[in-house]
A and B are shown apart, each in its own frame.
Chain A
């Protein structure tokens, strides 16, 4: 059984996101350990891209901080190698098509697999373009994660039928970032997914409070939290580890209830 499938088998999944190298790679390593200890079920590791078109200001700024600190794809591969020495959770890379393509898609996926990556999330690769990436991911045994959005409608069943790992359900219109309210008809989205596949669903974009997370976890198999964590790292820098630990613990508790 794949590590991703196993993780969803334990109950509602809490999936935190970190930008690798923000504020530095050593802190990212510490954060991965702390997040696992806090009860997270999977970890999304962002490889920063200069122009992340699906991100709001919080993750945009984190990407720039990491890149100006000299982080590169190769340095992140070294980091994950270290993370894997202690962290057992499924790890997914979240980045943009050009980061993978320019490295050489096969070379990227092969290396990622060797260091223990379980999945790949590319927000600028929709269903129509996955042919550049998915066959190679399959060949090396990692999951290319599919997205659905509130605008997907009749596309949902086509996307869901071919989905692997889990389905990333975008909660709202717009880019990543904290929102007071999530207004989309999540039940309808998830309902349409359920008609086509048993692959688990996780909801992301805009989730920051335990109350929101608890509500969304009722509707799906997991909750993804990015900007709220990155905001803590922006605020506390190298001292962020205990703050992120406490936050992650609170969120995990909220969705487990």
Chain B
């Protein structure tokens, strides 16, 4: 980054810090599938202006740092949860196929568990609890209409080939450890060479 940033006039905050949030961005939840035919796993949330932007950003944030085969993003308004935290804003009418995601224990990540047909999100949650063993014992269950889940296209490149794991905690730790090892090895070599030279001369 260049020094030009130091001269940048960022101005004053236009709104007080306790103001109500403004804007037209919508929260989306993102799931990634790490292996073909494997379940989609909760990856995180992001905010986007629409479905297209959500998928673009989902690929950038959650796809590119680890190899994965598919990505789903779901508008929060299309999600219903068993704890009542989320409810579908415009529920589909009639019988609909819902995808079920389960959270085994509080704090665990949500996993894709099953598909279920129901006439409402509440019915889908209820049916999932009754029919699917993972959902029956789960701490929390989410359902979303299958046709409202945005999916990446088959064959799309959604992870990086260049190693940028230094941006993640695990990559950074590995890199620092390697540097320390290199440093210590170099020091030992210098000491050895000194001793070796002493014997020679």
A, B bound: no
Interface residues of A (CB under 8 A from B): none
The interface of chain B, by Cβ under 8 A from chain A, is none
